[in-house]
Amino acid sequence: MLTRVFLVGHDGLAGRSLARALATAGTRVRTDADVAGPADVAALDELFAAFRPLGVIDAMPRSMVDGAGPASGMDRLLRAQRTVLSAAHRFGVETLLYSWSCDEAGRGYRACRELGAALLEAWRREHGLRATVVAYLGLAGWEDAACTRPVGPVARLVRDIYRARNDHADHVELAGDPDAPCRYMSGADWARTCLEVLEDRTVGGTVVIDPVSDMPLGDAVAVATRVAGYTGGISWRRAASVRLPAGDRTVRPVQGTGLETVIEQFCHAHAAGGGAVGSGRVVRAGRPQGDAGTARQVRAWRADGLVVGFTNGCFDVLHAGHVSLLRQARAECDRLVVGLNDDASVSRLKGSGRPVHTVEQRASVLNAIRDVDAVVVFAEDTPERLIRDLRPDVLVKGADYDADEVVGADFVRARGGRVVLARLEEGLSSTGAIERLAHDRSRA
């Protein structure tokens, strides 16, 4: 058993699960949280010189490769990997394990092989480092320590059922084959299997952790609809099946908890407000480029495979049009961040006498809406810097804008994201509501 391990990717579900498993096994663990970043050569050298890790585990989440575009993200990933591998070689690390998540169609596996296997194979040949690449599917678990916010493919399935129920939908369309086995493994299952692979001295090359359960996907959906009380119809959109290259070793993890129990737990979390019901919080942007805490939260969501959406506004006198916008925005993503103008910027944009409600009051109301996952306050007249800091996957604005006029649209699209124009509710606006109230008072 390795007694000292350096772990990259501590802020993702995979990394957190591995850190807990290693600590339970009595392994001393240091992570990239202890340095400015995995590409910081000086800080990494200082840590390796003092800690002398015997193994390195790279569970680097996708959030760590975010950049201005795909090429930039690729460069950052390779640069960080080379820095970690170089330190591993220079300080005598014996073993390295590199992991990457794939979706149900096997997407991500190619990236795992190309970015991981080729690089590690080169280092194995040149420096004798024993390297194993692990691709995995179906990882699901909890976003928070209190186990209230489920994440992962099974959690997304549950979320879709609850969203359909809450929206009183006649039917919901799900991706997949109802007769195919549902893929699921917990963070503990994933970490235990990874450590077994790491300890197996005969293993090298690429290993696929493929958690095929004994429950068909259709039966898993039936459990979710029963617990959620959803009575609408289910339709299926066939997704491409997983195709993995021949010759790579496949490992089936032993699942510690039955899938039906897991689905019921996820359903109860959604019903209690941890999933489909908003679990937002207010975060004030304390520096011009946006709030660092919110940016970290967004990176953690994205590391767990969640699609992050963003919309913004003053939300002064909340009305049905605002609620419709937020609901449409949340339908486009897994987590919705709402940028909220502070009092000074509302006054500049809307004129004297505005806002009617303070930023704390407006944020409190937004947090009570189930479709909102986080509220971040910004001081500028536009959210351009906040968008660049948070790097959302989806940018949502009302249809009174042209897509090319939406602030931050070019940035989001350059990173492969989408801009969505939400349908407007005719005749509804905060300004109109305030003017009607003033008119009614003058007549009274």
Which range is least confidently modeled, 278-282, 351-355, 373-377, 382-386?
278-282
Q: Which tokens hold the place of 175?
A: 């991706």
**Catalytic residue among 11, 32, 58, 219, which?**
219
Q: Report the pLDDT averaged over residues 105-121.
A: 57
Q: Which domains does the chain have, with CATH numbers?
A: 282-443 (3.40.50.620)
H or E stretch covering 283:
strand 282-284
Mean pLDDT, residues 2-7 taken together:
88
Question: φ, ψ for residue 159 (rounded to 5)?
Answer: -60, -40
For residues 306 and 172, give the distance between their C-alpha atoms in angstroms, rounded to a whole number: 19
* Residues 6 or more apart whose Cβ sits within 8 Å of residue 361: none
Residue 348 to residues 272, 379, 438: CA-CA distances in angstroms?
A: 39, 11, 21
Q: Would you call 58 a catalytic residue per the annotation?
A: no
**Cβ-contact 275, 263 below 8 angstroms:** no
Extract the tokens encoding 19: 């850190």
Mean pLDDT within 83-108: 72
pLDDT digits (tens, 9 = 90+) for 311-350: 999 898 887 888 888 988 988 888 899 999 988 899 998 8
**Side-chain half-sphere CA neighbours of 297 within 13 A:** 21
- Quick one: average pLDDT of 125-136? 68
pLDDT digits (tens, 9 = 90+) for 141-195: 776 666 666 777 888 888 888 878 877 778 888 878 898 888 888 888 888 888 8
Q: How far apart (Å, rounded) are the C-alpha atoms in residues 265 and 72?
A: 39
Q: Helices (DSSP H) in 167-285: which residue ranges?
A: 187-199, 217-228, 259-271
